[in-house]
């Protein structure tokens, strides 16, 4: 590797102190300090590379944001809160996050769905509690769930979860590999079915169907689409194992940023990258809006495809295939509209089973599969029916008293919502917030005006303003469809985290395996860069990954 100049402070001609210089040299520059950018930077910095990571916002973390947007002293998790992959994410083990005082809570009662008649369904960490709640409606479904999860849990822990951190394979190779085991073949059968088919085939009771369908599709699957069915076991199993990070999601970003700095890396916030520099087709660094240049033969972008390839580079100098694929890229089919509230009392649901009040996530507003599907169809069509909406809520302070510094509670109610809503968010926002609060008060009668001290709505447009690379409010930087998943995310040429442009790598949610704080793209990009540069990896695959490699790939 080339010798890099030492970082020398730049004095201002009439000033008492020095600043970070106008030009500096790096082994790798990472664009965007969301979870994936931070993970890539942390691995590479500890591997001995001189790493700089540039973030537009004033604080690192991207969606890992825990901020005071309501009253001072009340913290809301603005974005990511349900950490699905804590059990498997290599970064958590490799960086020994416990050392940083990170503590994840995994409550047994993970998700509840409440109905207008006081009935409820539960999804729990311990399977018997889920089955018990199903027994209220259907013995057959309760038994079926127990049986189904025997293999589905294995499909997740032995295949899908470890594969998240192993480079994408072409479908044909994957199919051949999966033939080796029973659960592999079962997984392949699921792929070809739609979430709706899978749920309907296994369960008879409509409430149970609606419940499991919500959990399977809530992160952006089309319930009727085939080719993505493997997500159903993954999201149900992970839906039983969500974790909450005590002190708020931002703590993970803080810990990762300290890992980067401890290993000699540099973090620059409040800096917009405006250009990826190229010379003779290879990248040579980035330019910041403030006028600084960071030189590096390796640039790793965690941004969405449009920003990386079209905004930061000359679109017309891209290979045609790459340009076409970016133009075809589809953002998430729906975004989220979230109402954050401070209330005097925690939500108390009108429900026979009082345990529901302790649930990490509570779904309400839907009485049937039909109603749920109608809501999603509306959302995809750019509409929201105020009389028939629903979503999920979490009382954050119930799990984490640290988020509130005087008496009161902090919660949110989140619903699937279109980015391009009929009439526009500026106009429709207030009435939709009212409708959501009314719906919440119906499910949890104490969430009335007199209990709510303050409420604030974050629309899909707001998501995009806060986090511009979540274009159209796309929390995953791009839709989950068969042609945008696996080795097609974001396209065949880039899904292995390198690109046709020499020195340019991708590490964000629009690249395999995708979004939702999996930490997959960031980990895989670090691996790819380390391999390409011939840097010795200080880390080893997790034991789940090793088992997967042994079973399916060797």
List of residues contacting another protein (CB under 8 A): 7, 9-10, 12, 14-21, 56-59, 66-69, 71-73, 75, 100-103, 246-248, 250-251, 254, 258, 261-262, 264, 266-272, 288-292, 401-403, 405-406, 426, 458, 461-463, 465-466, 468
State the minimum distance, in angstroms, from the CB of residue 402 to another protein: 5
CA distance 448 to 487: 48
For another protein, the closer of residues 179 and 401 by Cβ is 401
For another protein, the closer of residues 50 and 439 by Cβ is 50
Half-sphere exposure of 23 (CA within 13 A, CB side): 4
For another protein, the closer of residues 190 and 463 by Cβ is 463
State the minimum distance, in angstroms, from the CB of residue 304 to another protein: 16
State the minimum distance, in angstroms, from the CB of residue 378 to another protein: 24
State the minimum distance, in angstroms, from the CB of residue 293 to another protein: 13
CA distance 29 to 297: 9
How far CA 13 is from CA of 6, 8, 22, 290, 466, in Å, comes to: 21, 15, 14, 18, 36
SS3 category, 24: strand
For another protein, the closer of residues 291 and 534 by Cβ is 291
376 contacts 223 by C-beta, under 8 angstroms:
yes
For another protein, the closer of residues 79 and 497 by Cβ is 79
State the minimum distance, in angstroms, from the CB of residue 11 to another protein: 9
> Could you identify the residue written with the tokens 């402070």?
9
CA distance 473 to 79: 11
SS3 category, 335: strand
For another protein, the closer of residues 11 and 118 by Cβ is 11
SS3 category, 165: coil
For another protein, the closer of residues 218 and 299 by Cβ is 299
Nearest-10 Cα torsion for 284, 167, 31, 493 = 50
Pairing of strands 335-343, 361-364: unpaired
CA distance 392 to 364: 6
State the minimum distance, in angstroms, from the CB of residue 456 to another protein: 8
C-alpha 138 chain-centroid distance: 33
State the minimum distance, in angstroms, from the CB of residue 247 to another protein: 3
517 contacts 477 by C-beta, under 8 angstroms:
no
């Amino acid at each position: 590797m080339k010798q890099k100049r030492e970082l020398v402070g730049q004095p201002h001609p009439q000033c008492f102190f020095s600043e970070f210089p106008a030009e500096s040299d790096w082994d790798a520059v990472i664009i965007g300090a969301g979870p994936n950018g931070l993970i890539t930077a942390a691995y590479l910095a500890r591997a001995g590379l001189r790493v700089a990571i540039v973030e537009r916002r004033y604080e690192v973390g991207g969606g890992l944001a825990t901020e005071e947007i309501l009253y001072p002293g009340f913290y809301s998790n603005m974005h990511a809160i349900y950490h699905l992959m804590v059990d498997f994410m290599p970064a958590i083990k490799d960086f020994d996050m416990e050392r940083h005082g990170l503590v994840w809570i995994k409550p047994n009662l993970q998700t509840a769905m409440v109905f207008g008649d006081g009935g409820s369904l539960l999804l729990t960490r311990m399977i018997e509690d889920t089955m018990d709640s199903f027994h209220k409606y259907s013995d057959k479904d309760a038994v079926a769930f127990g049986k189904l999860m025997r293999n589905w849990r294995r499909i997740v822990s032995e295949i899908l979860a470890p594969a998240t951190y192993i480079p994408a394979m072409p479908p044909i190779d994957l199919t051949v590999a999966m033939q080796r085991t029973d659960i592999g073949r079962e997984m392949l059968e699921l792929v070809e079915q739609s979430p709706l088919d899978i749920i309907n085939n296994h369960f008879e009771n409509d409430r149970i169907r609606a419940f499991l369908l919500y959990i399977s599709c809530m992160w952006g699957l089309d319930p009727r689409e085939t080719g993505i069915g493997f997500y159903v076991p993954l999201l149900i199993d992970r839906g039983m194992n969500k974790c909450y990070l005590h002190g708020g999601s931002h703590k993970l970003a803080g810990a990762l940023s300290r890992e980067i700095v401890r290993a000699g890396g540099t973090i620059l916030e409040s800096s917009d990258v405006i250009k990826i520099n190229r010379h003779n087709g290879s990248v040579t660094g980035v330019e910041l809006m403030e006028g600084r240049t960071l030189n590096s033969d390796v640039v790793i972008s965690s941004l969405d495809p449009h920003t990386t390839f079209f905004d930061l580079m000359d679109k017309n100098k891209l290979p045609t295939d790459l340009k076409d694929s970016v133009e075809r890229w589809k953002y998430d089919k729906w975004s989220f509209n979230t109402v954050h509230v401070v209330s005097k009392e925690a939500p108390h649901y009108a429900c026979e089973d009082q345990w529901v009040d302790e649930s990490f996530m509570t779904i309400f507003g839907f009485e049937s599969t039909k109603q749920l599907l109608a809501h999603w169809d509306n959302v995809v069509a750019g509409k929201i029916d105020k009389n028939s909406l629903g979503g999920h809520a979490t009382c954050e302070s119930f799990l984490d008293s640290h988020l509130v510094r005087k008496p009161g509670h902090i919660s949110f109610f989140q619903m699937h919502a279109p980015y391009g809503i009929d009439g526009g968010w500026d106009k429709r926002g207030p009435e939709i917030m009212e409708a959501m609060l009314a719906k919440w008060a119906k499910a949890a009668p104490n969430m009335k005006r007199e209990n709510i001290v303050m409420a604030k709505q974050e629309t899909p447009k707001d998501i995009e303003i806060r986090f511009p690379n979540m274009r159209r409010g796309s929390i995953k930087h791009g839709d989950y469809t068969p042609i945008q998943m696996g080795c097609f995310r974001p396209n065949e040429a880039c899904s292995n985290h390198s690109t046709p442009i020499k020195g340019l790598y991708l590490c964000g949610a629009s690249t395999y395996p995708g979004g939702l704080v999996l930490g997959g793209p960031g980990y895989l990009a670090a691996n790819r860069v380390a391999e390409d540069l011939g840097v010795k990896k200080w880390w080893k695959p997790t034991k789940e990954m090793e088992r997967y490699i042994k079973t399916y790939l060797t």
